[in-house]
Amino acid sequence: MAGNVKVFMLMAALTALVMALGWMLGGQGGALIALLIAGGMNFFSYWNSDKLVLRQQGAVELSPRLGAELYDLTADLARRADLPMPKLYLLPTQQPNAFATGRNPDNAAVAVTQGLVDTLSRDEIAGVIAHELAHIKHRDTLTMTVTATMAGAIAMMGNMMLFMGGREGRGGAIGGILAMIFAPLAAMMVQMAISRAREYEADATGAAICGQPRALASALQRIAVAAGRTVNVPAERNPAAASMFIVNPLHALRADKLFATHPPTEERIARLMAMQGGAAPAPDLSPSRIPQTGRRTPWGRG
């Protein structure tokens, strides 16, 4: 309940920021127009966000015949979570990672990368899929889509302020420059706060679904290291979707690390190990924890 209240407050902050920029652009009428534009963008995202992000990532849909064992594993976990079977996709990137999308549990999708299937064990893959199913169960996929869309609208309006601030807009040219810089930054901070809160909850629920907190912790450890040395090209081209992945897919050398959309992996692992029982050991996030070559998995990769 506390988490939902926090999300509501953060969403309200984004809405207020949209309206404030609209007011600076055109007074009360501008605030109303800005709110209507943001609402229109969110309506479009509600119906089409899953298709857009899957197309951006080059996803290939799996079925009981194509990727049968992965499909069966997902179906079993969905039953445990009391969810409809989501659509399942494979992303053709070697960075281990995964995300969930869709407007509600009846229209949801889970996508995993080829690198995840090649690198992680069956139990670790189950933990990752369970985490994504937890996002679907909590309806986080819709929340994150709306926040990403509103953040995009704020960035666009901030740019408009630069050109209109010196004319009929309020605040003058300096106000326009400040809005262009700080409005998108504020939206990014709100988006980060929402994403981080939802990741902790999805970790806990996902561990309960798969029944193996340690396996999910191990998966997070492996994915975090791999993300730091394997470039996810589709994600780099569409960084706005980074918050959807289980671990930030943007390369560690990028400046994006300054504004991480996910909580620290070490803290996530510690919380999961606490669920397992006993004190959490200090997680080893050294590169040696990720195999340099493919390992044998339930899908035959060796």
Of the candidates 132, 168, 201, 236, the residue annotated as catalytic is: 132
- Among this protein's residues, is 267 annotated catalytic? no
Provide the greatest CA pair distance for the chain.
65
Nearest-angstrom CA–CA distance, 155 and 12:
17
124 is in an annotated binding site: no
236 is in an annotated binding site: no
Instruction: Label each residue of the chain as H, E or C.
Output: CHHHHHHHHHHHHHHHHHHHHHHHHHHHHHHHHHHHHHHHHHHHHHHHHHHHHHHHCCCEECCCCCCHHHHHHHHHHHHHCCCCCCEEEEECCCCCCEEEEECCHHHEEEEEEHHHHHHCCHHHHHHHHHHHHHHHHCCHHHHHHHHHHHHHHHHHHHHHHHHHCCCCCCCHHHHHHHHHHHHHHHHHHHHHHHHHHHHHHHHHHHHHHHCCHHHHHHHHHHHHHHHCCCCCHHHHHCHHHHHHECCCCCCCCCHHHHHCCCCCHHHHHHHHHHHHCCCCCCCCCCHHHCCCCCCCCCCCCC
Beta bridge partners of 91: 113
Nearest Cα residue to 21 out of 167, 156, 193: 156
Q: Residues annotated in the binding site for Zn(2+), as ranges? A: 131, 135, 199
For the annotated catalytic residues, the residue numbers are 132
Q: Residues annotated in the binding site, as ranges? A: 131, 135, 199
